[in-house]
Structure 1
Amino acid sequence: MERGVSLLGSGGGGDTVTAAALLREQLTTQPGAVLTPVSDLPADALVVPVGVMGATPVFSEKLPVGNEIRAAVRAIEHWTRASIDALVSIEVGGLNGIMPLVAALDLELPLVDADLCGRALPRLDQFSVAAAGNGLAPAALASSGQTLVIAEASSVEVERTARSVLSSAGGWAALALAPIPARELPECAIVGTVGAALALGERALAIGECPEGDALAAATGGRVLGLGRVVEVSRRPGPGEHGRAGFGRGSATVRDHRTGSLLRLEMENEYLLAMHDGDPVASTPDLLAVLDRRTCVPIPCDTIRAGADVAVLQLPAPGFWTDPRRLPLLAPRAFGIDCDPILLEGTR
């Protein structure tokens, strides 16, 4: 599971190793979590999206007490006066592919086989529920013994308010969003992603260390963009908005050992665009993953360094995001990159 969700993080999504350690420890004393297909839920069952948001690299330094997601869910129940029947992950890429499993075990609730991103995404207002026209509020943030409920706000305002709270909450907080009736999930969530992440991780691990490019592509269902060594990494402040600092930006350049050509990756919280000798060849909303050539462990944007021997993969985006109605929401221009989306064949 950890390998699958780290691939779906597209270089972002946070610390999967610590999240996997928490889940592994919990499974030593409890049976496995119940993963429930959307179709098995009663139509009127209420499902709460849960996860962690904020500066997720801090997650391994400021470890959770263990009751943060539970506190956020209880706050949503109290505010809405509703009884919650199941949980769903806010995003399957990165640590939020694992922490909802931890929460499901803690709360003794089923986890729905779906999520709100189909990958990792940087902002709450980019979630599928927002793209489908639904609201995120009420939203609850829980951290360091305190819980905050954002009762009424647009998706953009929920994102903006939550970010302002995180700096005083130690960098990250557990998040629970407004309950979603199960009958609405097929239209506002990406279905089947948790099981797909598990299957992807199993296939990726099965090929072992130092695989050939063809084997790597076959196992992951993607294509290899480059095999070689990282020769340069640069980082810079990202574009801000209304006087506020934005997410950090950067680029990483890989020299392909087969051809000597240069593959440049533009990145923010995730890898966003790949250019081969200056020509764009792959982009968001498809997933771009950088793997250690020997171990096949994905390398996040914030830890990629010059000298690393890597494989660069392009994995297909969920169909939810390649729908022409939603494609502009995650296309390169949504991140300030003046380029049309470049997707794997068959996913347009």
Structure 2
Amino acid sequence: MRITAGDVPALERGAALLGSGGGGDTATAAVLLRRQLERGHEPLVRPVASLPPAARVVPVGVVGATAAFTEKLPGGDEFAAAVAAVERWTGERADAVMSIEIGGLNGLMPLVVALELGRAYVDADLSGRGLPRLDQLAVAATGRGIAPAALAEPGGQVMLLATGSDAMVERGARAFVASSGGWAAFALAPIPAGELAACSVPGTTSAALALGRRVLALGESPARDRLEAALEGSVLARGRVLEVARHVGRSSPGFGRGSLTLADHADGSLLRLEMENEYLLALRDGAPVASTPDVLSVLDHRTGVPVTCDAIRAGVEVDVVRLAAAPFWTDPRRLPVLHPRAYGIDCDPVGVG
């Protein structure tokens, strides 16, 4: 499959939906991808099964404050530097790249990287949705580990995290981006294609593209049943946001905790969403009705555009929707990684497994 200019809006919409309110703004990455496509470059998206088992695949993505990415644009060398660093350290050349995260900005940016590096792009990622921390990636959830990994920031600094636990790599990467402009290009060590099935979520780029196409085909203000059919999910509530509360100092460094409340036009019930960098838990009149690892998204009711956690405001008419989690995350061995309690929320997962 090749991504063309006509695919970009749908891919952008699908990635934004899968961001679950996080993952960063897709607009800048979409502009960069369109520029590559205008030059006649079309990324080849290959299924994992089509690669030789010995082919080496490097997961890449943007880490840090994704809002800073739109203010401090990449110079063009950051990803090449990060990939080169892990190639030198491991002694293995990357045959292809993949995304660390399909949700949000990283649903598109790795396609740009594949074109810049002249490598194939693999239809898989390490998240299946938007995730806030590196130690939640699929390679961490399966015990494979994150290290070695490399980061390169716009100022030219490159850091390689050679060893350490997943939590140590997460802390080291966060400290690096905090002191170097807010974001960095990130690359993991090459993974043999034959091992990807066990430590990644397959088919996520093609799935995001299909999801975006279905949703865009609805037009503005679609009927509830048509929206649910396009999402292959459910609409939890439709209504006006009454309140948005942000709680400073109640979360881990680099993450903001908050909640929003809306009145459902259908029955007058109150739906509250608990959020950190992503929407995590939905409660109707105080009773949990949906939670992570399922994908919770908030859509502008008229346009259908996903509204991120940092952009949601009182007074907006929205649809709150739920999309089923990738089967990877419903496995009991991996569910604790995205369990509400992994975010400090004392609640069991709702509607999962």
Normalising by structure 1, we get a TM-score of 0.96
**What do residues 38-68 of structure 1 show as CA deviations (whole Å, max 9, x unaligned)?**
0011111111100000011111111111221
Match of 2:23 among 6, 13, 19: 13
1:109 alignment partner in structure 2: 119
* 1:161 counterpart letter in structure 2: G
2:189 alignment partner in structure 1: 178
With 245-254 and 197-206 compared, the bigger mean Cα shift is at 245-254
Please give the alpha-carbon distance, in whole angstroms, between the structure 1 residues aligned to 2:27 and 2:350: 31
Please give the alpha-carbon distance, in whole angstroms, between the structure 2 residues aligned to 1:78 and 1:325: 33
Match of 2:50 among 17, 33, 40: 40
Structure 1 runs (4+) greater than 3 angstroms displaced? 238-241
2:105 alignment partner in structure 1: 95
2:8 alignment partner in structure 1: none
Unaligned stretches of 5+ in structure 2?
A: 1-10
2:260 alignment partner in structure 1: 252
Q: How does 1:117-128 map to 2 (within 5 A)?
A: 117-128=127-138
2:237 alignment partner in structure 1: 226
Match status 1:236 vs 2:244? no
Match status 1:316 vs 2:324? yes
Match status 1:265 vs 2:276? no
Q: Is the 8 A contact 1:237 1:246 kept in 2?
A: no
Please give the alpha-carbon distance, in whole angstroms, between the structure 1 residues aligned to 2:271 and 2:40: 46
Q: Is the 8 A contact 2:283 2:289 kept in 1?
A: yes
Evaluate the alpha carbon distance shift between residue 44 and residue 317 of structure 1 in structure 2; reply closer, same or farther with a 3 A threshold.
Answer: same
Q: Partner of 2:68: helix, strand, or coil?
A: helix
Match status 1:334 vs 2:345? no
Deviation at 1:240, TM superposition (A): 5.1
2:69 alignment partner in structure 1: 59
Q: Partner of 2:347: helix, strand, or coil?
A: coil
1:298 alignment partner in structure 2: 306
Deviation at 1:277, TM superposition (A): 0.8
Please give the alpha-carbon distance, in whole angstroms, between the structure 2 residues aligned to 1:231 and 1:66: 43
Q: Partner of 1:306: helix, strand, or coil?
A: coil
Deviation at 1:30, TM superposition (A): 3.0
Q: Is the 8 A contact 2:36 2:42 kept in 1?
A: no
Deviation at 1:124, TM superposition (A): 0.4
* 1:269 counterpart letter in structure 2: N
Evaluate the alpha carbon distance shift between residue 226 and residue 68 of structure 1 in structure 2; reply closer, same or farther with a 3 A threshold.
Answer: same
Please give the alpha-carbon distance, in whole angstroms, between the structure 2 residues aligned to 1:208 and 1:285: 28
Unaligned stretches of 5+ in structure 1?
A: none
**What do residues 7-52 of structure 1 show as CA deviations (whole Å, max 9, x unaligned)?**
0000000110111111111110032101010001111111110000
2:198 alignment partner in structure 1: 187
* 2:77 counterpart letter in structure 1: N
Please give the alpha-carbon distance, in whole angstroms, between the structure 2 residues aligned to 1:96 and 1:332: 23
* 1:209 counterpart letter in structure 2: E
Normalising by structure 2, we get a TM-score of 0.95
Deviation at 1:304, TM superposition (A): 0.1
Match of 2:36 among 26, 34, 39: 26
With 148-157 and 283-292 compared, the bigger mean Cα shift is at 148-157
2:171 alignment partner in structure 1: 160
* 1:137 counterpart letter in structure 2: A
* 2:129 counterpart letter in structure 1: R
2:292 alignment partner in structure 1: 284
* 1:326 counterpart letter in structure 2: R
Evaluate the alpha carbon distance shift between residue 238 and residue 119 of structure 1 in structure 2; reply closer, same or farther with a 3 A threshold.
Answer: farther
Q: Alpha carbon RMSD of aligned pairs, Å? A: 1.0
Q: Is the 8 A contact 1:238 1:246 kept in 2?
A: no
